[in-house]
Amino acid sequence: MPARRIPSLNWLRVFEAAARLGSFAKAADELAISAPAVSKQIRALEGHLGKSLFLRGAHSVTLSDEGSAFLPSVQHALQSIEVTATALFGAKKSEPLSVQATAIFANSWLAPRLGEFRDRHPEVQLRLLDSVEPSIEAAPDLAIEFGAVPPAMEHDRLFGEVLYPVATSALSLAIQSAEQLFQQTLIEIPFHRTSWMQLLAEAPGIDAARARFTLVDTTQSALALAAAGYGIALARAPATDFLVEALGLEPCWPALSISGSQHYHLVYASRLGLTPAAVKFRSWLLEATSDALQQ
């Protein structure tokens, strides 16, 4: 077997067209090359792979078993390249924008509102990055951070959070007292500055030492466990409002809540250095967060 198994991209394009159209001649017309060139490139691909991809008749061709098995992967790969190229390099008039955001902000607060920004600014080509493990090496145009703002960065404060316990509807209805609360598993994120221990300290007559905890790394994991009936998680309004509703979670013991000590911020190196697309996103985000807090 050859050491290199990745075929020529041009061979793959010719193979995909011939397989999709069921004809070397039609593939030649679509690709603006000659029919003999199509036949030659497909034979080169077959030689490279060591398998026949087509069964050739007097006036037609059909895929062999190997060709039928190979075609979906080729089509997926070519489509993926085309989609990525369009997204990254698209129309010349598009304005690229990279925004890095915490997972809970991106997936719960931003997700249901981002369509409004897209509709208002279709010229902006947005790339939304995970704040834990960004997929590009260059610094993003904007970042949405929770807690401390990185040194030497400018920022806008967006909003804080209010923590309250949530569980499945059945479980939330069953909890009417501290005693019933402590009979359940409390799902905790240990590295958050404000969490279950601070909440329980605000409740009169509660001995937090009696609580039974399960530790998780993210708010999304905590809410997912709560939705599965595992225990009680802490919602962090307004950032988690969308996920709480989507997962069907309900407040339990509604009187028990606490304001968090940290805030979300929009962070950037310099307001004067923002790109036109970043200026548009910043303006929209400040308006959207202001409107949401007034509702």
Sign of CA pseudo-dihedral 204, 210, 216, 220: negative
- What is the DSSP-derived secondary structure letter of residue 55? E
According to DSSP, the residues that pair with 16 across neighbouring strands are none
CA dihedral 230, 235, 241, 242 (to 10 degrees): -30
Measured between alpha carbons, how far is 141 from 267 in angstroms, rounded to an integer? Answer: 9
- Residues of the chain with pLDDT below 70 are 1-6, 90-93, 131-137, 203-208, 292-295
Cα gap 239→19, rounded to integer Å: 49
Q: What is the pLDDT of residue 61?
A: 84
Instruction: Give the C-alpha distances (Å, rounded to integers) separating 191 from 3, 40, 163, 197, 217.
Output: 49, 62, 15, 12, 8
For 7, residues 6+ apart whose C-beta sits below 8 A from its C-beta are: 45, 48, 49
